[in-house]
Structures are given as structure tokens and as C-alpha cells.
Structure 1
Amino acid sequence: MRKIYIIGIGMGNPNTITVKGGKCISESDALIGAKRMVDSFKLDNQETAFAIAPDDILNWIEVHKEIKNISVLMSGDLGFFSGAKKLRTLVEDQYGSIWGNEQIHFEYIPGISSICYFSSAIGIAWEDAEIISLHGRDDKDISAVLNHTKTFFLTDGTDHTVRKICGRLVESGLGNVLVFVGERLSYEDERITKATALELYEKDFEPLSVMIVLNDNALYREKNTLGIRDEEFIRGNVPMTKEEVRTITVSKLNLSKNHVVYDIGAGTGSVSVEMALACPYGDIYAIETNPEGINLINENKSNFGVKNLHIIKGLAPEATENLPAADRAFIGGSKGNLDEIIKSLVTKNPEVRVVINVVALESLVEAVACIKKYGFKDIDITQINVSKAKALGHYNLMMGQNPVYIIAVQGITEAV
């Protein structure tokens, strides 16, 4: 039976590989991997192949059936942003199991990950860190740091270098966060730097570095459920969606952490704040025309520290023309433009999910007509009647609020 060892080699320095990994490499007839890795471990009697892509690795193994024992070298650990993930899938597709079959057996040997090595080097535990790889991805580095006391980054050497990440932190008012940067980890010229983002954003580092960012002032809520008390918001004289209605409304949006969301007719920004906290890696756009409302949204944004909340002064749909397409939209006030607003939403994203709150029966009729006109599906209409106790002397009397219709719809049958 042929034996294929998929080995996490750690940082790259042969001294950091596990004993079992080193033993398998020394007993193999061939090594496959990036040139730097193979050159670090190869023996004189071993055949070598330079390949990184999982497809190329598996093809080479198939072509060279005469080689019985092969070690495939992967950087770091196999379970930490590793090419082993795709390779396992390809192995399963081709041989029926990630372990192979009766003719060929695959064994997976872990290594020391960059976060494990780096955390030990700087004396910090990593089990509570938010872990983000920026290789070819558009994750929200600012939101991660803002919402977590400890964030680990794998940089990508292009749009997400140490310098650029620190620059974005400074621009977002996070220049005082403490940053650790690791370069060429485990090698003789290893370098570890500790400074604030403000001190580092004009300095250059190795393209593929690692970072740990500490933010002692990260946003923290004792509860992660929806339903912030009305008393926690600055209200002024602008109408505000009340706590119980707001909680159900936001839950009907079915938010994910990276969604782009419009709050049309944002009022005091209470719904915007709830959505911004529910979407830490997303962007929330509060559209409002009332100057007092805009000031209140600004105050509530500052009070809750939600930097992913963006305030747009203007009337929808015109005010949304230059915004990214919404994944979700809440319409709390349309100023008579409901049809135009919905048309704009579905034109930019046919699969947008929309929640509309109305009080007047005439507004309900208009909303239902728009839903039919634009072919929405999964229509969910709920009426909410909320009464809250008010103390009068020794008694508590239930005081009713206006009934509210919450209309939630998903997508459309065809683009407009």
C-alpha cells in the first residue's frame, strides 16, 4: 500500500517540526511542496517536486504511482488556514475517503501554527483571540479590533499589510491600540515588534507577517441578545421605534454579521444601533432628513461606539444611489416614496430582504400593494400590540401603545 503523509511543518524552520513529522519526512521516497519548504527538508536520496496547489499535488501523486512513500509539506498547521482543507476534499472525491482506499493511505500530521508560535513568543494566550486571515479576503479588520480585546491577523502582502492595517486603525480613531508584529518567525533573523498602531502605520514590514492587536477599550455588552432598553438611547423630540417592536423588527431581518443594511427613516437611530451591534463586520446606513434626527443618530452612534454605522443625510431613494447594494433594508418611514424606495432596493439587489413597519391602515394597504407589484416571496405580516405597566399610586395600569404592523419579505421572482 502506498502511504502519503500530509505534514504541517510549522513555521518553516526544521527545528519547529514535530518529531513524528520529521520521522515521516526522513522515511519518505519523495517530498512535495513549495520550493522553500522542500529545500529545507530534502535528503540526497529523495525525489522532489515543487507544487503548492492541491490539484497539482494530487496529480503528481497519481502520475508517480511507482513512488510508495510521499510526504506533502504544508506550512503551519493543517487545520489553520491551510491548503490541506482543499486537499482533503480532493482526496475524498477521488478515493472515496479522506484516508484513501485499499491501494493508497493518507495520514495527516499536525504542525505548530503561526498563532501558537507567535503567542508563545510574546507571552500572550490566544484562546480568546478573534482570528482573521486576510489572504485574498475583504474581512473587516477595523470592526474586528473594535469589537474584540484581542485580534490575530494573517496579512496578505497586498491590500492588507501591517502598514495598511495600522493606517486604517489610525484613521478610525484606534491609533492607541497595542500591536505586536511577527516577521520571519522561527528563523535566525526573526523579528518581533511591539508598538501602537500610530507608531507603526508609516513603517514597512515583511509582506507576509502576523499581527496581534490588543484593544482594552473594545466594545463589550454583557448580553448579546437584541433589545436595548429605550432609556439607553438619547431620544429628543424625534419618534423612536420602541424596544419590543424594535427587537422583533431586527429579528425579522435575519441579519448576518457582515451584511450591508439600510435603515430608511432612521429617526433617533435606535434600530440602526441594534443592527450595527448585530453586524460587527457589516455596514449600516442610517438615512434621515430631519436635522434633529441626524444629530440624535450621531449622539447614539457615539454613545454605543458603533463605527460601522454611517449616517446619510437625505431622502430615499435618492440618498441611497451611491451606496453599496443592501443585503437587508428596514423602512420605518418612507415620506411617501415607498414604491420608489422598494424599486431601487430590488434593482440593486433582487434578493434583498426588506422589513417595513407601518401604523396607519392606509400605509399597510400601500405596503401590501408594493409587495405584490414587485413579486416578493416569503411574505410575513405580523401585528404587534404592546402594553406596558405604568405606576399610578399603589397600582400599575397597563398603557397601550399604537399597534404596529411588521411586514417582512424576501427577494423577488425576477429583477426589475
Structure 2
Amino acid sequence: MNKICVFAGTTEGRRLAQLLAANGMDVTACVATEYGQTLLSPSECLRVRAGRMEPEEMERMMRQERFDLVVDATHPYARVVTENVLAACQAAEVEYLRLLREESTVPDGAVTVPDSAAAAAFLDATEGTILLTTGSKELAQYASGIRDFGRRAYVRVLPMEASLQACQAAGVPAGHIIAMQGPFSEELNAAMLRSVSARYLVTKESGDVGGFAAKAAAAQQTGAVLVVVGRPPSREGMSLSAVLEEIQRRFGMQLYPRISIVGLGPGAEACMTGEARAAIARADCVVGARRMLAAAAPGQEVLEAATPQAMAEAIQAHPEYGSIAVVMSGDTGFYSGTRKLVQYLPEHPVEILPGISSLSYLCARLSCSYEDVACVSLHGRTRPIAEEVRANRRIFVLVGGSTGVKDLCRVLTESGLGAVKVYVGERLSYPDEQIRTGEARELAEQGFAPLSAVLIENPAADRAVGIGLPDSKFCRGSKPEGMVPMTKSEVRAVCLSKLQLTERSVCWDVGAGTGSVSVEMALQARRGQVYAVERVQEAAALVEENRRRFSLDNLTVVSGCAPEACRELPAPDRVFLGGTSGRFREIIALALEKNPAVRIVAAAVSLESVAELTACMEAFPELEWETVCLFVARTREAGHYHLFSGQNPVYLFTMQARSGTE
């Protein structure tokens, strides 16, 4: 195991130590104070050594531990410590790398001074309140160099006993001490400047990671003069990303950050679990969509990304972060981008922390359970929602968009489900949360907030989805019956049985006619997709009318002649061939090309079609064939009697790859 020592006096140093340990390296992290020790989490691979060391102690430790590498990640202003670490490495003959924080651009209008003494001299000649953010070490120098220091100066220091003692020794009144641990956002810095009416903000050029950019922006926002203490001359160093690249090259390994995917719940911070808060607090960076970042990570370093792919790209573009929290709305296992994000990061160590789902939250608000609730998401998806409501007594729907709930209720009303009871939860968990209740037909006329959650109750639901619907259920058009062909109910039932549809089947109905088979396919394949291919425009219009009549979002009408109209369609797993204009062979060949395991059922009523399909049996010997001749007779009235009238026989050909054939 590779042994590395990191002098972790900076944020980057702590990130590096934790990242190396998370990837299995034996790491010793050296920090100067007990407070610095609390910022690191010891583990099996990470030991933390707290306390200042003299050069001799450093050398002795290096000789005893026999490190493969020492990384000096101390503060840019800790010049003496850097020289001591380098000297100890040279004496102990240990390789040395300097991790040096990149410099920030000092904005125009800022006052730049070489050291704290020069800063005190400049401020002594001014009037107005001062906010000092340079730490506690140089407080005595500022106190002795600035007249009326106790009245004018407010100091921001770490919440440590040593820092408070330094403030007391410098004569800083208790009401002028701000003891806080960063990072501090621009907004928080600006709020502090305004709260003390500061005319001057004093800071070191500590780099963007050290919060310099946020301080500079806050000073500009509030009109305070930025006084910058420049960096002391120091050895050249490398950025964190460059140090990581060098370590990977030297030790021949790939380093991956520790990733926590965190479910935030409905949105408000109050609904976050303690585990989620802890994961976010310990992360070096938080990744997520803007709304989630605003709720979860005020003041932390963030990377804005809304989709799983964008999140993965952001993570991979920033190897300098040893620990990353990715924040997701709701629950990580409930219509979340978590599953796809994990697929984008196959080699990264990932922990997944669940959150409170909008389903459980809404049901809690309604004082009801949810073990019998079917769940659907319409956020960025299309689903045959009317059929879902017909099939389930209770259904939960995630709805997106400003008109999502209104559109949902309109579809239900147009589908004959206007009387179902609908509960709409808007801005769940926020102070302006609202839950509205009513029938679908009533709510179809109202407006709702985006990303609403909906619970629908349909006491009349029936899960059974039969086959062979009555012919009267379908629109046949205004012309005399027979102008547009329709597969009759009894034949349709047998065809659907032979197709052996699944809930997620992708189907072609070629020569759809009125679309009766297409409609029943779509009803069976509720979570799949059906493409009704029809070359006659009048018939295609009837298919579309029947699609609307049954409210089938998973049925698409394709106008055109097969097989040409099918070439751009997704590969099917089920195909029904009704009218093909004598092109059975070409259509079967295309379907097999797209999916060799496709199951095909063809119906023929003419001798010519039967002959062509019989020839296909020889043309496609790799298929297993079944043929059925179906005779159907229906009763008709003849005076006082009812007689059977036979319909034309229908020949059904079923074909599929033989068992064991790819």
C-alpha cells in the first residue's frame, strides 16, 4: 500500500487526504490545531495528527513512517511552515510536492499592500468601520497600528479558544467578534458588511477556494473598499488537479471522488433527513439543479447540473473534489435520475441516501396510506393515463409543466372520467403549500403550480382488460360500412391471443383500417408503444379518431405504405399484418431485420393473400409457423326466428423464430 503524508492546512489539503484515503492509500494528514482535526474524518486508511511540529519532529516522523511521498498543502501565507516541511523532506530523503492554491485576480479599485503592517498603516489614515477577515495571528499588529482599533474594527475568526484569546489580547470587544467557520458566500459576506456598516474589508489573497472571490464580490456589492494583503514570496507549486495527475502517474492508479447521491425530499430544507444534511455538510462540492442547490447548499461550493449526464460530466471535470454530494429532489429511488447517474459513473464509489418522496408526503398530509397506490410520472413522459386510472382504484401522478395538472384533468374528463376524485398537492413542504380537492371536470378549469403531485381515486376501477371489444365501440366513419375495413370482434380476439402481447410490447399494426386492432393492442400494451400504419388517408383519420376516443397516448398513427413507412420505426416485438397490398414478404423481412425474435400474426381473407403467405413459409424457413382457419357465424333475425349467418373464413398465420434461433 502506498504511504503518503499530507500537510493539510488548507481546504485543498483536506480534500486530497480524504480522496487518497477513499481510494485505498495509507494517508497521514498533519494539521496544526485541534480544530483542523475536527474537519477531517479519520478512517481505516486515514490517520490525523494534530499539533504544530518543529523541523526536527517533522524529520523524525518522516524517517519513522518512511512515506513514499509528502504533499505540502499548507496555506500560501504559511511560508515558514513550507520551508520547514521541505527541509525535513530533504533530510529524510522523501519526495516532496508543493500543492499551492491558485491565485485570484484582484479587482480594479482594490488597495493592495505587501503585509499586515502596511495594511494597518493604510487603515490608520482612514475613517470608518473595518471588517478584518485575515485571521487571529496578526491581530496584535492591527491593534497597535490602527488608532481607535477597538471601536472601528470587527474581526472574523475561527470558532476556537485560541482565536478568541487572541481577540481578547488585542482589545477587541466581545460584540465585535464574529466567530464562524466558512466557506462564506457572497450573500453572507455582504450581509456581514452591511450589519456592521463596514467601509473597509481586509482580506488575504487566499484564492477562490479560500473565499477571496466571494469577499471581493461582496465588497463591490456593498461599496466597501477592498484591502488585499498580498501573498509572501513562496516556492513554486502545483494546483490540486495537477497534484492529482502527478500522484496518479507516479503510482499508476486512477483516483475517484467519494460520491453521495442525496434525496432531499419534496423541496424545503425542513424535510431533509439528518443523514442527508450530514452528507451535504461534509462534501467538498454539491452538484444539482438550481432549485435543489438553493435549498440544500447555501454558501457551499456548487456545480449546477440538471440532468444525470450533465451531473456526471461535472463530476468527471473536477477531480480536485474528494467528496461530492449530488442532490436530487424527492426520493432517490422514486422517479429519480439516480439510476441513470449511477450508470454514468460505473467506477466511482457511490452511496445512495433516500429522501421523503412526494407520494409519502402527500399521503401523510391526506392522512391516508399508500400501499395500494399505483404510481405514474408524466414529468417529461407520455403515458396512457386514462387507461391507468380505469385500471386502478388509486393512482399517484407526478405532473410537470405550468399546465400539467389542468391537462391531466382535461384528458380524464374527455375520456369519460370527469367524476373521479383528484387531490392536487402544490409546492409541497414549502410555506405556501396548498392541497386542492375536486372532481377532474372541476379542476380542469383551474391553474396549478408546476411540479405538482396528484392523487386520483376511482372507486369504479376494474383491472381486467378484456379482448375482442364490441365493434360498436369503434368509429367507422360517415360512409357506408365496409368502405374502411375493420377486423371484427371475434377475429380480433383470436388475433390478439395469438400475438401474446406483454404490458411493454412495441407493436406494428400494418394496414390498420379503422384501427380496431391497434386500439386493443394499445390497451394491452399499456406501458409499450403501438404504431398503426395505414396508406389510405381516410382510414388513417379514423384510426386517429379512435385513438382519441380511447385516450391512448401510446398509439401513434403512421400514414404511408409499408414497408417504406416502417423503416424509421423502432424495432417491434409484435407485428400484426392486416392489409399489405400484396407485400407480405417485404414487410416480414424488414420486421425480422429489425428484430429476429419478433412475433408476427398475419390475417388473410382472399385466396391470393393465402397463397402469398404460404409462399412465405418456404421463403423464411428459419421461422416456426402456425396456421388457423377461423369460421365465425352471427345470428340474424328471420321473422320470428334467429338464424346464423356465416362470415367469410379468415386464415391466420402466426410466425416466430424457432426455439434456440437468434
Pair 108,182 (structure 1): closer, same or farther in 2 beyond 3 Å: same
1:165 aligns to what? Answer: 408
How far is 1:130 from its partner?
A: 2.5
2:457 aligns to what? Answer: 214
1:132 aligns to what? Answer: 376
What is the aligned counterpart of 1:252 among 499, 522, 526?
Answer: 499
Pair 214,350 (structure 1): closer, same or farther in 2 beyond 3 Å: farther
Answer whether contact 2:499 2:599 (CA < 8 A) is retained: no
What is the aligned counterpart of 2:308 among 46, 54, 59?
Answer: 54
Q: 3-state SS of the aligned residue for 1:173?
A: coil
Counterpart AA for 2:334:
F
What is the aligned counterpart of 1:11 among 244, 261, 266?
Answer: 266
How far is 1:198 from its partner?
A: 0.7
What is the aligned counterpart of 2:345 among 91, 113, 126?
Answer: 91
How far is 1:39 from its partner?
A: 2.8
1:356 aligns to what? Answer: 602
What is the aligned counterpart of 2:446 among 200, 203, 223?
Answer: 203
Answer whether contact 2:512 2:533 (CA < 8 A) is retained: yes
Pair 348,200 (structure 1): closer, same or farther in 2 beyond 3 Å: farther
**Structure 2 Cα separation of the partners of residues 262 and 63 of structure 1:** 47
Pair 241,369 (structure 1): closer, same or farther in 2 beyond 3 Å: farther
Pair 34,150 (structure 1): closer, same or farther in 2 beyond 3 Å: same
1:193 aligns to what? Answer: 436
**Structure 1 Cα separation of the partners of residues 458 and 592 of structure 2:** 36
2:277 aligns to what? Answer: 22
How far is 1:53 from its partner?
A: 3.0
- Give CA-to-partner distance per residue, 1:20-61, whole Å, 9 cap, x none: 1112222333322223322333365x3233222334433443
**Structure 1 Cα separation of the partners of residues 490 and 317 of structure 2:** 67
**Structure 1 Cα separation of the partners of residues 651 and 429 of structure 2:** 61
Pair 214,341 (structure 1): closer, same or farther in 2 beyond 3 Å: farther
- Is residue 327 of structure 2 the alignment partner of residue 81 of structure 1? no
- Give CA-to-partner distance per residue, 1:215-262, whole Å, 9 cap, x none: 2222333xx7x778x9x999xxx996769x945752335455565664
RMSD of Structure 2 on Structure 1 (CA): 4.8
Q: 3-state SS of the aligned residue for 1:12?
A: coil
Answer whether contact 2:387 2:523 (CA < 8 A) is retained: no
2:398 aligns to what? Answer: 154
**Structure 2 Cα separation of the partners of residues 5 and 347 of structure 1:** 46
**Structure 2 Cα separation of the partners of residues 142 and 39 of structure 1:** 36
Q: 3-state SS of the aligned residue for 2:582?
A: helix
Counterpart AA for 1:252:
L
**Structure 2 Cα separation of the partners of residues 346 and 197 of structure 1:** 47
1:397 aligns to what? Answer: none
Answer whether contact 2:502 2:525 (CA < 8 A) is retained: yes
Answer whether contact 1:170 1:197 (CA < 8 A) is retained: yes
Answer whether contact 2:533 2:561 (CA < 8 A) is retained: no
How far is 1:346 from its partner?
A: 8.9
Which is worse superposed, 23-32 or 257-266? 257-266
- Give CA-to-partner distance per residue, 1:40-93, whole Å, 9 cap, x none: 33365x32332223344334434443433332211111111212222211111x
**Structure 1 Cα separation of the partners of residues 656 and 376 of structure 2:** 31
Q: Sequence identity of aligned pairs in percent?
A: 31
Counterpart AA for 1:174:
L
- Give CA-to-partner distance per residue, 1:262-283, whole Å, 9 cap, x none: 497999x7x7886465234666
**Structure 2 Cα separation of the partners of residues 143 and 208 of structure 1:** 22
Q: 3-state SS of the aligned residue for 2:306?
A: coil
1:398 aligns to what? Answer: none
Counterpart AA for 1:91:
L
Q: How many equivalent residue pairs? A: 350
1:365 aligns to what? Answer: 611
Q: 3-state SS of the aligned residue for 2:369?
A: coil
Structure 1 or 2, whichever has the larger Rg, is 2
How far is 1:183 from its partner?
A: 0.8
- Give CA-to-partner distance per residue, 1:373-408, whole Å, 9 cap, x none: xx7786443245899xxxxxxxxxxxxxx9975312
**Structure 2 Cα separation of the partners of residues 272 and 62 of structure 1:** 46
Alignment of 1:395-410 (within 5 A): 406-409=652-655
- Give CA-to-partner distance per residue, 1:266-320, whole Å, 9 cap, x none: 99x7x78864652346669799xxxxxxxxxxxxx9xxx96659xxxxxx989xx
2:77 aligns to what? Answer: none
Query: Normalising to structure 2: TM-score of the pair?
Result: 0.44
Counterpart AA for 2:450:
P
What is the aligned counterpart of 2:297 among 27, 31, 42?
Answer: 42
Answer whether contact 2:617 2:625 (CA < 8 A) is retained: no
Q: 3-state SS of the aligned residue for 2:409?
A: helix
Alignment of 1:215-364 (within 5 A): 215-221=458-464, 246-247=493-494, 250-252=497-499, 254-257=501-504, 259=506, 262=509, 275=521, 277-280=523-526, 330=576, 339=582, 354-357=600-603, 364=610
Pair 358,155 (structure 1): closer, same or farther in 2 beyond 3 Å: same
Pair 272,8 (structure 1): closer, same or farther in 2 beyond 3 Å: closer
Answer whether contact 1:382 1:405 (CA < 8 A) is retained: no
Pair 345,121 (structure 1): closer, same or farther in 2 beyond 3 Å: farther
1:112 aligns to what? Answer: 356
How far is 1:135 from its partner?
A: 2.4
How far is 1:112 from its partner?
A: 0.9
**Structure 1 Cα separation of the partners of residues 329 and 427 of structure 2:** 13
1:297 aligns to what? Answer: none
How far is 1:353 from its partner?
A: 5.9
How far is 1:191 from its partner?
A: 0.7
Q: 3-state SS of the aligned residue for 1:339?
A: coil
Counterpart AA for 1:251:
K
How far is 1:111 from its partner?
A: 0.6
How far is 1:109 from its partner?
A: 0.8
How far is 1:193 from its partner?
A: 0.7
**Structure 1 Cα separation of the partners of residues 315 and 586 of structure 2:** 54
Pair 255,110 (structure 1): closer, same or farther in 2 beyond 3 Å: closer
Answer whether contact 1:135 1:156 (CA < 8 A) is retained: yes
How far is 1:163 from its partner?
A: 0.8
Counterpart AA for 1:152:
F
Counterpart AA for 2:293:
V
2:387 aligns to what? Answer: 143
- Is residue 424 of structure 2 the alignment partner of residue 177 of structure 1? no
Name stretches of at least 5 consecutive residues in structure 1 with no aligned partner. 288-300, 310-315, 388-401, 412-416
